[in-house]
Chains A and B, each alone.
Chain A
């Protein structure tokens, strides 16, 4: 039996939401003074409304997590947003300490929580590789040994002595990922970074992850892409509200997760408290049929309308709204678009904005799908809601001329026609 490299015992993490550097000495002094004078009753009075709010905003991001990861295991961690995936990763990569419990890790941990940490725009590519490498825990000698490989992987050899501030954002990301990918830790933590870069580069990244896996090193992988999880991982755990609710093979975990979501409210996504701290966030996302009724069940002949409401704290010009459609059981992304791609520019969004997104009738084959939405601008993603709204497409009730009633298999209904003996029988949309 291979040895245990990560052992987590009764790990819990408690957060106080909303305490964003807002603590002032006066507030604390007030509290102490209040406690001194009149006991706890007085305390409540002295606390500002703001403080009351914060008190209620306490959450357990992780509750009593027990976990063992063996050497060479590729563990997929899945769960909705806010289920505790990031908290677990942050504790395992020592960015923050747990509230209780402990974890023992044997081997060097490399995390790809976010790439390009500590890049300084004034330094050249080469200097940044050394700096970034050192931040990630490599020695100077190690970086020097791998420098050529890193530069080649990032495809920026011509610009290696140019300050990074002159790089395009794509170049910066490639260089940053190249450094992280060559870290060669015994345990690699990957959190959705594969979403960066162009398709070609993504392929390289997946390849690199595969290499790492083949070398017998351990990988913890967080993704919302169910297909990637079931393909890449051997085992999977499902997190929900800070607890491990399921642990099994990756495939079983994916199924369990999808079923778990089945039971939750499908047609509407509503903003939760922690989202409200973002600069710009979705408030409501809901699916409606052509009569304007909110629903998650559509017939093939129905238009699907997403009603999107978002809020921007300050003016954001040309904010990009992205929508992608995924097939629920497989996680395959069928379609994705953004306002930018289609040239629908939204100038100077501020405050509350309502947007309708419509998919016309007869596009999707019967089955379950979900929409993922994002608010972004250039490289910055303000808010990403994975699997915000679920819809179920059912076969049409009646056979209408010119419309398909059902599809034999696949995800889409393509316009087509049948020709028998030179006579077009029926063109179907």
Chain B
């Protein structure tokens, strides 16, 4: 209708409230160059001022894994379903870290970009999407590092049954990314109004880790906790990832699909909330 009125291809209608169902993904796609440039910026900016540079990617999971191996493996002696504890914890750590970093970073979307958002319009969703992608690079380094250890353990004669589930890894990552961003944008939208919730996030991520099978396998859980784990969308992802590379635990397409549904719902809710807040965010900051 507007196109006829103006006889022009590029028409913008500015109204108080956009449609809740309009996720504005088409517009986001039009700004894909911007997303890639944000990814580049995040990456370059992150390392230009650190002494160790990208070495952090290796140190961080390595140290975490060593600590986990000592605390949960040696001291607490939690079962790892027969897998070498070091690999078990490392697998859990790298995939969890990716999720946790995406979650925390995207939850600062509005506050860390207020200076840009206040001056020019672009689809705000470009920022969390860029975060998700730039963190993927860190993950790939860590993943290769993990593969290195995997080969090393295999050569040393550890019993590892890498199986065809590894092919599903990209999908697992995608799910983690979607959930991390979904939760992150929800938090970012809510914190524009309630600043005090920012504190809760860091704490929440940590708690959530212990509620998820990162440092323990689902198999050691007694009922009813085992069934409750079904509700945690992260659990099947972690279990499947470890099963694929280490051959431990169990996988189930059913549980994975439930998890996918939950994740999709969280992400959709997040985007809708985000798009709603985005429109008047600048008035409240």
Contacts and interface: CB of A to CB of B under 8 A. Distances in A.
A102 B282 contact: no
Interface string A122-137: 1100010011001111
Given A111-B120, A140-B33, A105 B40 contact: no
Interface in A93-150: 93-109, 111, 113-114, 117-118, 120, 122-123, 127, 130-131, 134-137, 139-140
A99 B10 CA distance: 24
A101 B15 CA distance: 7
Interface in B109-139: 115-122
A124 to B, nearest CB: 9
A101 B49 CA distance: 47
Contacts of B75: none
Nearest to A141: B33
B33 A134 contact: yes
B6 A95 contact: no
Interface in A394-420: none
A140 B11 CA distance: 22
A1 interface: no
B193 interface: yes
Contacts of A16: 283
Contacts of B33: 134, 139-140
A387 to B, nearest CB: 25
B181 to A, nearest CB: 20
A114 B116 CA distance: 10
B11 A106 contact: yes
Given A5-B6, A104-B2, A94 B12 contact: yes
Given A97-B280, A102-B13, A120-B45, A113 B119 contact: yes
B279 A97 contact: yes
Interface string B273-285: 0000001111111
Given A91-B14, A97-B280, A98-B14, A23 B118 contact: no
Looking at chain B's contact residues, the main secondary structure is mixed
B37 A134 contact: yes
A3 interface: yes
Contact of A98 (B2, B16, B122, B193): B16
A15 B119 contact: no
Interface residues of A, number: 53
B156 interface: no
Contacts of B279: 96-97
Given A24-B196, A120-B45, A95 B40 contact: no
A231 interface: no
A15 B283 CA distance: 7
What bracket does the count of chain B residues touching chain A fall in?
35 or more
Contacts of B16: 97-102
Given A5-B6, A95-B117, A96-B279, A19 B12 contact: no
B45 A123 contact: yes
A44 B119 CA distance: 37
Nearest to B7: A3
Contacts of A127: 40-41, 44
B6 A23 contact: no
Contacts of B280: 96-97
A4 interface: yes
Nearest to B276: A97
B74 interface: no
A3 B8 CA distance: 10
User: A-B pairs with the 10 shortest C-beta distances?
Assistant: A94-B121, A97-B279, A106-B6, A134-B34, A106-B8, A103-B14, A25-B194, A140-B33, A117-B119, A105-B12
Interface of A: 3-5, 15-16, 19-26, 28, 90-109, 111, 113-114, 117-118, 120, 122-123, 127, 130-131, 134-137, 139-140, 163, 186
